[in-house]
Structure 1
């Protein structure tokens, strides 16, 4: 029974069975073809077109130089019956049906051997055919489900990518719109500032024009020459002292600023005897002069141009001068002798 008839007997459509059995495929290859929907078998024509080159390569492989290179086994050979088994599944099935256990790898079936093989693989039973067809259909359905699932995931991923691209595009458009609004607002503010500056310039020009017309209509007043008056130079060569004696009497006397304080004390002792030892002090600012101050000039003691001097008993704490004793300006009245 051919591979096509076996596939049709297993329940596959005739067209699918013929396509699967093409290119001299064996049953396992045909089942793999059906199981994978022909995927991976597109280049078989190219491989068949290179048969001549393959034969040349085989001849080269048979040369003495290449005999030492081990070749890949094309199948298995049962040493008990001489049957050639193309794959592991046939070897396992053969061992289960015949109880043979002596197998070896074989590059190709021995076509020059004239003796008949001791054992022929029995054809598949109806139950095996149905089970094999069901197994293949289950694999095909599983492959289709996996393909549909992968396609669904790809469509979902593509949809998510399109959504992300749309979101990014909307975000870019929104950012561009915000930039345009900000630029328009900035341009409006700049235009407003420029207009206000132009209006202010026009108002200033109008004010200047009015002042110019008013100046032309108003007669100019005669110019008055400014006379600079020199500030009076104060003469600090003399100072007037107002002296309060122990009995409360007030006397005035003019002294030269270069004279020491001891001259004031001598004038008091000579012209206004107080009858006891005394000291001199100023009420404002409060300061009692010591013996060391007697040799200091009145100018250095800042008793110019006028000052108040209070005579106090030596050894008696000085009291503040009454409030009416305030500095007075020098007068031209003669001092009391």
Structure 2
């Protein structure tokens, strides 16, 4: 039951409307000025004068309104304030005056109604406390659920961030490994290239020394002995070298004519060390005059 209906109960018990304050039930004991509790106003005569007091009969139409009645639910109300509260609570709007007087409550009935009202108020307070506790439990459940969801979301986010960090670290390590492998390959390639260059230089120096030794031996032999033959090795631009023994008195033209069928295109003859290219002016000179006796290595230059 709402506070408005409790108010109606108290008013129905005879308490004055301006004294019915549920927050201050002690005020209910004091009647309004000019009224008696559950009775008529104090200033009203005890006996109403009437022109027909002798027989107590009234004519039709002389009835006076004793209350207000709701035409929709047939409930009686002491005054317009009570009817207005009923209309607000129920939505009923059809009211009419009634000649039926609302019987005043006895003191026992008033006490019983008041005790019942207090009981209902206590039950309402207890119910409100239970509802508030239940609502607090529900709010606590919602807070816990929300907190758990936030915690789960935070943990998932941290897990994703950790996975990202691990993947980034793994990628960084892989890139570092590839970079180190590439550097190592480059170092190995540089080592091989330097070794190949050293080997090539070594072979070139060895060949150079051999040629120097051969030339020196030829000069020594020529100085100590008179040779009549010259053994020449002619290196072609491609293919195997040509080796042939000529007379020391043969000219360079004889050597050129001997080599020409084995080489495609024009060419010139030259010594390897010291470097000397023979031109047309040397074609008529003998091999002895050119210092090619007893042996020499010539190169055919295209």
| TM-score band, normalised by shorter chain | 0.3 to 0.5
Instruction: Give the structure with the higher percent helix.
Output: 2
